[in-house]
Structure 1
């Protein structure tokens, strides 16, 4: 079953940004403002997540990308990596470790879990407890080794994902064991979350126009199991955008699906 929320991760090629960016501030700020105006939020760590009170279908998510490419033509030329990941409920690891919060029962226990965290550099260097200067810089390697031994893999973007389905109480138990082994982890933690994750889809091929993405139709919204190629939402959005462009005398955005 498709999870209700979506996470969008992307990377821009710096040299391409220098060549093609035409805005007045910087590319990342423009993208952040746009996505936040379209029901996405930026956590403290990398990436964007759709708001928890919004059901973000694939049609709506890719429709947002269509709008962003129309508003920022340079985005298509500069992006070098992009994915959409289905995500569900998020749990505050920092609060759990500090206060022992009660865990709510997940709606979908049969999901993998993804950990994201940020450590404060000053706090880490103070709490690490080594007589060797700069030894604290090895903290991330120790965390990685520990997480990989406990069924997680490091992702291309910041964070760790469980290799297989993992119950939330099992994932939190891993976090407790981590902070027991390395007390500096909790003491240096700025933010951390465990999130339900589902399928990950290649958004780069869609953005570059090299292939179409078969968008699963959410069963809770349409009651259909077969995939819908881009779906009616995107078609309606593109038609409306093209009509608005004609009225304003401007060129409508390129239809990436018909370009090849």
Structure 2
């Protein structure tokens, strides 16, 4: 890229020319109007002839996050989608190798546009584990934007402490926090305090809907989306438990309409 651009204004050509720093800046310039869709990579597609990631892009996703990704052709996936593509990794030896935040697994993810260090419900992970994994990822893939944190309780308590969030922000480019209304105790005011702690640490705040509410009714998703933006989120994330490994597609569109209106929603859907 030769100029600073909002992610709102970027299509496949612009994304192909972005480095990690430019991607982060494009999100920052968009003032809370960035939508991330998580895809459970092993799941069968909702419709024949189109991957779940392609459906998410068609319904307005700016960023695509692959969960439990065991494939190899990240570059091919990126070309077909025309969007930045990231991968989840977890600092746990209890999960399969292709899900771990290990040096061996990270080395095969050099084509990822961003990495997310987090925890699925079957792996109890503490803040210290996330911080340690972040250091490993920085060493292995120094130019790849790093997102770090929990989308939900991961088998434990849901809401993290502001001090934990500050620690994560020191080592990551963006920190995941539960979106308002997703885990017990996630009042908008409480999430706003976490978002403030993230920003004070110099990172972006990602409000995550990882509690299967990505498959709720559109009114619920719309409310969560607006609440997350009011709380200070730079990115709204919708998880992969809507139906078959992807958020309910119309909920992606509803979230997009809520945080950025029809103009930018329809443009994003058309930018193929």
- Fold shared, TM-score > 0.5 on shorter chain: no
Structure (1/2) with the larger strand percentage: 1
Normalised TM-score (structure 2): 0.25
Q: Which has the larger radius of gyration?
A: 1
